[in-house]
Amino acid sequence: MANISRVRATINYGLGGPGLGTFYFASNTGIPTSAELLDMVARVRAFYAALANFLTTGTSVLVQGQVDTIDEATGTLIRSDSTTPPAAVVGVGSANQLPPTTAIVVQLNTATVIGGRILRGRSFVGPLNITAATGSGGPVTGVGTAAVAAGTALLAVTSTIIPRIWHRPKAPGSGASGAITGATAWSSFGSLRSRRD
């Protein structure tokens, strides 16, 4: 049995909100320490802070201080811990907004193969201000640079916790996870059909 810890961020942006971002981490000790809990929430905040220039001024991201630890094989809740939530990330781009379902898609890569496919995760980031787009309708070059920076922030060097992508169990006990190795941005915008990612 391997445990992973779940950190959530609430994305507040008015009409249609809030959104939800979910990230997973594994501790070498199995149960995260107080210092590791603080490190996890700080890394998720740093992920969104790297993309703040593309968020509208009316958007704020608050990383929750409640961290749940689950059995990755079954999804069963093992425990729930509280830590001090970090300061909110506030969008610093213009208030001129792209359609609210338009999002930067940050692809979180692993080297893990499950069922003959490489395990990858996605994080949909929005709502976006108009400066995120080029005249052709796609993301500006800076979006890709910011996505790499967001992935680097998530991977901040530490010897005790590792960000992971969770492959939910499709059969009893079949859940697994892989360590995130880096991040890239899609070359086009994503369309967020669900408000939870």
> What is the token pair recorded at 62?
């608050």
Better-scored residue on pLDDT, 24 or 190? 24
Residue 57 lies in a domain: yes
Q: How confident is the model at residue 194 (pLDDT cuts 50, 70, 90)?
A: low
Residue 196 lies in a domain: no
What pLDDT is recorded for position 197? Answer: 41
Answer yes or no: pTM beyond 0.85: yes
pLDDT digits (tens, 9 = 90+) for 108-134: 999 999 989 999 999 999 888 888 887
What is the domain range of residue 19? 3-191
Residues 6+ apart with CB under 8 A from 63: 7, 8, 9, 41, 44, 45, 48, 85, 86
What pLDDT is recorded for position 132? Answer: 83
Q: Across residues 98-102, what is the average pLDDT?
A: 84
pLDDT cut 90: percent of the chain above it: 60
> What is the token pair recorded at 96?
């001129």
Q: Across residues 90-114, what is the average pLDDT?
A: 89
What pLDDT is recorded for position 141? Answer: 86
115: left (phi over 0), alpha (psi -120 to 50) or beta: left
Better-scored residue on pLDDT, 171 or 108? 108
Report helix, strand or coil for 21: strand
Q: How far, in Å, are 49, 97, 123, 124 from residue 128 at the CA level?
A: 14, 6, 14, 11
The total domain count for the chain is 1
Residue 197 lies in a domain: no
Q: How far, in Å, are 43, 78, 87, 124, 149 from residue 153 at the CA level?
A: 6, 27, 16, 16, 6
Residue 8 lies in a domain: yes
Residue 110 lies in a domain: yes
Q: How confident is the model at residue 196 (pLDDT cuts 50, 70, 90)?
A: very low
Residue 107 lies in a domain: yes
Element (H, E) at 142: helix 141-154
What pLDDT is recorded for position 159? Answer: 66
Residue 180 lies in a domain: yes
Better-scored residue on pLDDT, 113 or 171? 113
pLDDT digits (tens, 9 = 90+) for 147-169: 999 999 998 876 689 999 999 99
